[in-house]
Amino acid sequence: MDFSDVLASSIHDIKNSLGLILNSLNELVDDPNNRIANPRQASLLQHETQRANSALIQLLNLYKIGNAQLVARINEHNFDDFFEDVLADNQAMCRGLNLELTHRCDPHLTGYFDADLIHGLLNSAIGNAGRYAKTKILLSATIEERYCVIRLEDDGAGFPDALIHCLPSENGLPQFIANDPSRTHLGLYFASRIAALHRNSDGRTGMIRLRNAHILSGSCFELWLP
């Protein structure tokens, strides 16, 4: 048995457990007679369980990237439709945290990307934003400079300057991984690897950018896809 099999089968078990935890929590949150946990606590648990699940998927994907086994399966997708899928995955958690999660884009806008990979990436990003947002999280997509730009914004305190500056301005991987392996940094590292898997035949490659105060006042995570 090689390591990827061990990893895959462990992840299968862990995901089964997480699934059961999530479903029980859902029932707790929905049950007006529940006396065990207050809805706020249950929502927090739900939130963390989903983050653990996203982290697990990241871990498997990172392992595959390391073995050059991960390739983006690029297809054309309607953004409105795709964002509805992402929202369906995260709406319950955001409601539990009293956050308003919305999306904004031209209903006919389409883009070329690997829906599984970008969905997973946005799940983790929303999970992160859920920690910092005050009341709102906004997901949007536009076409800029011949790239599809997906933005995830919140109305929190914004990214610290140091984090914004550690991203190279053009294509290339973030430099920070070695000196600060914190959770956010790992997430950004993963996001930039996933973005870089998106290439077009004209040689352009996907990338991520960070900024503050775009439409909402807080942090703004940008995914630029060719």
Partner 1 sequence: MTDEFTNKKFLIIDDFSDVRSAIRSILRSLEVTQIDQARDGNDAIVQMTGKRYDVVLCDYNLGPGKNGQQVLEEARHNLLLNIDSIFIMITAENTRDMVMSAVEYSPDSYLSKPFTKEILQRRLDKLFERKADLKKVSKAMIVKDYNTAIAELDALIATDPKNLPDLLKLKTEICMTANRYDDAMVIFEKVLHEHEVSWARLGIGKVLYWKKKHQQALEMFQQLIELDPNLVTAYDWLAKTQAELKQFDAAEQTLHAAVKISPRALKRQQQLGDLALSNGHPEQAETAFTRAVTLARNSALNHPSLLAGLARSKSSNNKHIEALKLIGEITKSFPNQPEAVFYKATATAAVKQNQGDSVAAAAALQSAEQVISQCGELANSKLGLELAKTYAQLGDHDKATALIQSVIANNHDDEEFLMVLVQVCREAGFEYDAETAIREIQQGVVKTNNTGVYLIKQGKFDEAIHLLHEAADEMPGNKTINLNAAKAMIIKMEKFGASMEDILTVRRYVERVQTLAPQDWRLHEVVSRLKNISPTA
Residues that bind partner 1 (CB under 8 A): 8, 11-12, 15-16, 18-20, 22-24, 26-27, 30, 53, 57, 60-61, 68-69, 71, 73-78, 80-81, 84-85, 88-89, 91-92, 107-108, 110, 112, 114, 116, 199-201
Residue type at position 99 = L
Structure-token pair, residue 93:
């958690």
Q: Which is nearer to partner 1, 26 or 217 (CB)?
A: 26
Strands lying side by side in the sheet with 136-144: 100-104, 136-144, 147-154, 219-225, 207-212
Nearer residue to partner 1 within complex by CB, 6 or 20: 20
Cα atoms in the Cβ-side hemisphere of radius 13 Å centred on 223: 29
CA angle at residue 60 from 56 to 62, to 5 degrees? 110
CB of 20 to partner 1, least distance (A): 6
Q: How far is the CB of 168 from partner 1 (least distance, A)?
A: 24
- What stretches of 67-205 show up as alpha helix (H) in DSSP? 79-96, 115-132, 161-165, 183-196
CB of 89 to partner 1, least distance (A): 5
The CB-of-85 to partner 1 minimum distance in angstroms stands at 6
Rounded Cα distance, 32 and 108, in Å: 40
Beta carbon nearer to partner 1, 179 or 201: 201
Q: Nearest approach, Cβ of 43 to partner 1 (angstroms)? A: 13
- Between 74 and 216, name the residue whose CB sits nearer to partner 1: 74
- DSSP one-letter code for 36: S
